[in-house]
A and B are shown apart, each in its own frame.
Chain A
Amino acid sequence: MELLSRLNSPVIYLICGGIIAFVAVICVIFAVRAYKAGKALGIDVSKMKRVITASVTFAVLPSIGILLGVIALSGSLGTPWPWLRLSGIGALHYETQVAEAAAEAVGIGGLSIAGMTPEAFVTIALLMSFCIMWGMIFVTVNGKAYSNKLTAPKNDSQKAKKKGKLNLSGFGDIAMTAMFIGLVSAYIASYIGSIVSGDGRFTFTGSLLPLAVAIISAATMGVFMRLRKMKGAEWLDSFSVAGSMLVAMISAIFLGKIL
C-alpha cells in the first residue's frame, strides 16, 4: 500500500500531468491552425463548427469508457500513469494486455499491487510506452512521403487517360468506405463468431449481449437517419452516433440481466 501511495504522489502526478498538458497544447495548436487554414481555403465556417460539435458529442461516451480503463488500472499502477497512457498514445484494449505481459516477465505473477515493486512498475511503464510507439515513428520518418504519394493519383489518372488505361480517380473514396465496411465487419462478425464458437467450435455458449447492443445501436442510427431526411433536421447529424450509442448502452444495462 505504501508503494501505491508513492505511485499517486504529487511528483508522479506532475510528471504525467505535464506530458498530458503538452499533448493538449499540441491538439489546440493543430485545431487552431486547421480552423484558420480552412477559413483561408474558403471552407464554410458553419461546416467547421458542425464538425467540432459532432466530434465533441461523438467523443464523450467513448471517453467515459476510457476513464473506466484508468480506474481499472489505477488499483495496480496508481492513477497518474494510466491517466497519462490513456490520455495520450495508449488504447483501451492494449494497455492491460501489455501491462499484464510485463508483470509476468518481471516475475510478479500478474498485474496486482500486492506483488508490485518499484522496479516492476518502472519496467511495466517502459514496456507500455515502448510497444506502441511504432505508429509515431513511422509517421515521423515516412509520413510526409506517404501522404504526398497518396495525393498523387490525380496525375496518375490524367496519364492513364492519355494512355487509354483504366481511370482510377474517384476510387479513393470508394476504397475508404470499403475499408470501413471491412473494419466494422471484422468486429460485428466477431460478436456472432463468439456466440457460435467462443468456447470452441460450435459450442453456442457465447454472450448475446455485444451483438444485441450492436443491433440496437444500428436500429437507433436508422431512426436518426430517417429523421435526418426531414427539413431542418441537419443538426441531428452531430448527435446521431452518440445518441445511438447511448440508447444501445442503456439497453445493455437492462439486457445484461436477461441475456
Chain B
Amino acid sequence: MNEEKDLKQTEAYQKYLNTTHRLGRVFTIAVLICLLGAPFLMGAYLSASPNLPAAAKAFLGVGLVYLISCIVEYLIYLPMLGAGGSYLAFITGNLINMKIPCAMNARDIVGVKSGTPENEIISTLSIATSSLVTILILAAGVVLMIPLQPFLQSEALQPAFANVVPALFGAMACKYYRSDRKVALIVLTFMILLYTFLPSLLGSVSMMVIPSGALAIGLSYLSFRKKQKEAADA
C-alpha cells in the first residue's frame, strides 16, 4: 500500500519537474525576448537606434567579465536552487545579495537536504516569494518616489543602505561558520591573505567566490573522506 503511494508520489513529482522545465524554458525565452526587445521598442518611441559598434566595444570591455561570471553562477547556483528555483532566480536576478541566501535560509529553517524533492519545492517557494516582495517594494517605491526620495536619500541613512551586503553576510557567517569552524577559519584566513597581498583582487570579489568556494569544498571533502574511512575501520 505504502509502496503504491510512494510510486504515485514519484510519478507526480517527475511530472511536476518535467512541466517545471518546460514552463521554465518557455518563460525564460519570453523574458529574454522582452528584455532584448525593450530597448528597440523604447528606441522606436524616442526615434533612436542603438549604436551597435559602441555596444560591441563596451561588451568587450565589461561584458566578457559578466559572461564568465554568469557561467560560474550557473554552475554553482543551480545545484543549490534546484530546477524551478534556478529558472526564477536567473529571470529575477540579484542572486548573491538576495536569492541564494534567502533560499539557503528557507532550506535550513525547514531542514531539507539538497537534491531532494523537498529542496526543489522549498527553494522555488522561497525564490518566488522573495522576488514578489522585491517587485512589490520597488513598485511601491516608484509610486512613492517623490515623497520617499528625501527620506531614503538623506545623508544620515546612507551608511545603513551602503552596508546591506555586509549586514547580510555577517548574519549568514554566524549561521554557516558554526557548521564547520575549521574549514571556515582556513578559508577566511586564506582569502584575507590573498586580498592583503594582491589588493587588485578587491575589485572582483564576486569572481573570488570561485577559489574561496573551491577551497572550502576541497577541505570539506578531505574531512568527509577521513570520517568515512574512520567509520569503515571502526
A114 interface residue per 8 A CB criterion:
no
| 5 pairs of residues in contact across A and B, judged by CB atoms under 8 Å | A19-B35, A61-B167, A121-B46, A130-B36, A238-B109
Query: What CA separation (Å) do A175 and B224 show in the bound complex?
Result: 10
A89 touches B31 (CB 8 A): yes
Contact of A245 with B168 at beta-carbon distance under 8 Å, contacts A129-B39, A182-B213, A182-B214 already known: yes
Whether the pair A37, B171 counts as a contact (CB closer than 8 A) is no
Are A58 and B113 closer than 8 Å at their CB atoms?
no
Chain B residue with minimal CB distance to A42? B9
Question: Which chain A positions have C-beta within 8 A of B131?
Answer: 23, 27, 59
Report A-chain residues with C-beta under 8 Å of the C-beta of B153: 68, 71
**A127-B59, A139-B86 known; A166-B225 Cβ under 8 A:** yes
Query: A134 to B196, alpha carbons, bound, how many Å?
Result: 32
If A23-B92, A64-B152, A217-B167 are given as contacts, then 20 extra A-B residue pairs at C-beta distance below 8 Å, sorted by A number, are A26-B88, A27-B128, A48-B125, A64-B137, A68-B161, A80-B142, A86-B138, A98-B63, A106-B51, A129-B36, A178-B180, A181-B184, A184-B169, A186-B209, A190-B202, A190-B205, A192-B195, A197-B199, A217-B174, A250-B160
In the complex, are the beta carbons of B224 and A171 less than 8 A apart? Answer: yes
CB of B106 within 8 A of CB of A51, answer yes
User: Across the interface, do B164 and A151 meet the contact criterion of CB distance under 8 Å?
Assistant: no
Once the chains are docked, how many angstroms separate the CA of A86 from the CA of B132? 12
Q: Is the CB of B138 within 8 A of A134?
A: no
Q: Which bucket holds chain B's interface residue count?
A: 35 or more
* Central interface residue in A56, A67, A81, by most chain B CB within 10 Å: A67
Kindly supply a per-residue 1/0 record for chain A positions 203-236, scoring 1 wherever the CB is within 8 Å of any chain B CB and 0 otherwise: 0000001110111111111100100000000000
Q: Is the CB of A31 within 8 A of B124?
A: yes
- Give the residues in chain B near A65, CB-CB below 8 Å: 97, 161, 164
Q: What residue in chain B is nearest A175 (Cβ atoms)?
A: B217
CB distance from A97 to the nearest CB of B (A): 6
The answer to whether the Cβ of B1 comes within 8 Å of any Cβ in the partner chain is: no
A109 CB-CB contact with B under 8 Å: no
Within 8 A of B (CB), among A54-100: 54-56, 58-68, 70-71, 74, 79-81, 83-84, 86-94, 97-98
Contact A102–B192 (Cβ < 8 Å): no
Report yes or no: B164 in contact with A249, Cβ–Cβ below 8 A.
Answer: yes
Choose one: A60, A81, A94, A146; the contact of B78 (CB below 8 Å).
Answer: A146
Judge whether A135 and B217 touch: CB under 8 Å.
no
Interchain CB contact (< 8 A) of A217 among B34, B54, B63, B166: B166
A117 contacts the other chain (CB 8 A): yes
Of A33, A139, A197, the contact of B90 (CB 8 Å cutoff): A139
Interface size, A (range): 35 or more
* Complex interface: chain A residues within 8 A of B114 (CB): 172-173, 176
A67 to B42, CA, bound (A): 22
Contact A201 B188 (CB under 8 A): no
Chain B, residue nearest A176 (CB): B114
Interchain CB contact under 8 A, A136 and B129: no
Please determine whether B121 and A37 come into contact, CB atoms closer than 8 angstroms. Answer: yes
Q: Mark A121-151, 1 if CB is under 8 A from B, else 0.
A: 1110111011111111111100110110011
| Chain A hits for B40, CB < 8 A | 122, 126
Distance in angstroms between the alpha carbons of A16 and B41 in the assembled complex: 10
Provide the bound-state CA to CA distance between A79 and B143, in Å.
10
Question: Which residue of A37, A58, A139 contacts B102 across the interface (Cβ within 8 Å)?
Answer: A58
Contacting residue for B84 out of A34, A60, A119, CB 8 A: A34
Are A197 and B102 interface neighbours, CB within 8 A? Answer: no
Is B50's CB under 8 angstroms from A241's CB?
Answer: no
Contacting residues, chain A, for B28 (C-beta < 8 A): 136, 139-140
**In the complex, which of the residues A22, A28, A189, A218 has the most CB atoms of chain B within 10 Å of its own CB atom?**
A189
Evaluate contact between B142 and A30: CB separation under 8 angstroms: no
Q: Residue of B at shortest CB range from A117?
A: B48
Which residues of the other chain, A, contact B228 by a CB distance below 8 angstroms? 166-167
Q: Is the CB of B135 within 8 A of A181?
A: no
Determine whether A113 belongs to the interface, using a CB cutoff of 8 Å to chain B: no
Q: Taking CB as reference atom, which chain B residue is nearest A72?
A: B153
Assuming A19-B34, A89-B35, is B163 touching A186 (CB within 8 A)? no
Contact call A43/B118, Cβ cutoff below 8 A? yes
Contact A125 B42 (CB under 8 A): yes
